[in-house]
Chain A
Amino acid sequence: MQGIVGVFRELDATVDAVHALKKLRAGNIDIYTPAPRHELEHILTHRASIVRLYTLIGGLAGATFGYWIPIWISDYWPLVVGGKPVPSWVPYTIISFELMVLIGSLATVAGLFITARIPRITMTVGYDERFSNANFGVWVECPPDKQADVTETLKQHGATEVRGER
């Protein structure tokens, strides 16, 4: 896994550079940015995040579990309290709701971790401390023969620093 990383100070410069690189068809492009910016999101046209699926499934599972547990246990120990039905679904709705939220949220987080591939034990190549501070980074994964052009393009669009990584 080798490629070129370019460090930018300005947002629009980054945008231009990515556009140029896309024309160049040099290889996979990834962008590092201190804060999410819609421009960058739009340039790299990915599918929408699938985290919502985890949320949906988690929520449904939680709700079901939240009904099943109390009803099962009420039938296990059929003791009448206050002349109420032994398994009474109305109060159990609250349990169900809370478990829906709980398991749903945890599933969402799990979804984030899996889709965004965290936690990471080590940093990937091409990352630079500046990217979490104020600078934008463009990572191009490209074979050696393309590296010259990529470097050129990045410099051209105002990269303050361009370096190869492997």
Chain B
Amino acid sequence: MTKRRKRVVVPGLAALAVVAVLLSAYTGATQQPDTVIKDRGSWGYSAGSSPQGRSPIQPIAFPHPTHVQTLGMNCLYCHFSANKSPDPGMPAVGTCMGCHLVIGPNRPAMNGRPARKSEGIATLQKYWAQKKPVPWVRIHHVPDYVNFAHMPHINAGVTCQTCHGQVQQMNRVYQYASLNMGWCINCHVGNVNPKWKARYDCSVCHY
């Protein structure tokens, strides 16, 4: 009966092939473990086409935690137009220098903390001296056929952290969300927070 067994092989292989093909369509579904968003709602989507988790080196290692947590600055202090414009606004070098003219790179030892030299502030002051803007590297990026506006989101009460993650804790900012369309829709249909429901037909963002 050896022949009979051999015969079985072929359909078996075929079946395996079919399964493999179907699965391969979802191969993109793997994500960086550290940046997986918990609640996907009913919208199965993958971050395969997304640079999620990307965390490039910036010209100045800007410490968000120091500014936000230690000094308690508000996001809108630097990203001043997030609530009144599609664009959140990058702080002008002048804005930084507003403080850092006073707060120099060399901090003397004071109330128990040792003296320290801050590379970042030094670099910043170099840029300011040369009257050059700081060439920050863009992290969060949507394709240009997507018209994303910050203003309505902020005004709807969506927190910065919802999409950008706990930036106040990131020593180097990384792309928190996949920024895929499925991810946007997931929130627009109210899966993340029913209060944030918004219209989700194509012409809201694509025009």
Residues of A within 8 A of B (CB): 79, 113, 117, 119-122, 124
Contacts and interface: CB of A to CB of B under 8 A. Distances in A.
B201 A120 contact: no
B113 interface: no
A119 B202 CA distance: 50
Contact of A121 (B6, B11, B201): B6
Contacts of A119: 7, 10
B6 A122 contact: yes
16 contacts: A79-B201, A79-B202, A113-B11, A117-B7, A119-B7, A119-B10, A120-B3, A120-B7, A121-B3, A121-B6, A121-B7, A121-B9, A121-B10, A122-B3, A122-B6, A124-B3
Contacts of B11: 113
Grouping DSSP codes into helix (H, G, I), strand (E, B) and loop, the B interface class, with mixed when no group exceeds half, is helix
Grouping DSSP codes into helix (H, G, I), strand (E, B) and loop, the A interface class, with mixed when no group exceeds half, is loop
A120 B4 CA distance: 8
A124 B4 CA distance: 10
Contacts of A122: 3, 6
A8 B187 CA distance: 78
> What are the nearest 5 A-B pairs in CB distance?
A121-B6, A122-B3, A119-B10, A120-B7, A121-B7
Interface residues on B, range: under 10
B7 to A, nearest CB: 6
A159 B169 CA distance: 93
Contacts of A121: 3, 6-7, 9-10
A79 B6 CA distance: 51
A79 B185 CA distance: 14
A13 B43 CA distance: 71
A79 B201 CA distance: 8
Interface in B1-33: 3, 6-7, 9-11
B22 to A, nearest CB: 14
Interface in B101-159: none
A118 B181 CA distance: 48
A122 B9 CA distance: 13
A78 to B, nearest CB: 9
A62 to B, nearest CB: 16
B11 to A, nearest CB: 8
B163 to A, nearest CB: 23
B71 to A, nearest CB: 46
A17 to B, nearest CB: 27
Contacts of B6: 121-122
Contacts of A124: 3
Interface in B157-207: 201-202
B17 to A, nearest CB: 14
A43 to B, nearest CB: 26
Contacts of A113: 11
Q: In this complex, which of A117, A120, A121, A122 has the most chain B Cβ atoms within 10 angstroms of its Cβ?
A: A121
Contacts of B202: 79
Contacts of B7: 117, 119-121
A121 B4 CA distance: 9
Contacts of A117: 7
A113 B12 CA distance: 13
Nearest to B6: A121
Given A121-B7, A122-B3, 14 more contacts: A79-B201, A79-B202, A113-B11, A117-B7, A119-B7, A119-B10, A120-B3, A120-B7, A121-B3, A121-B6, A121-B9, A121-B10, A122-B6, A124-B3
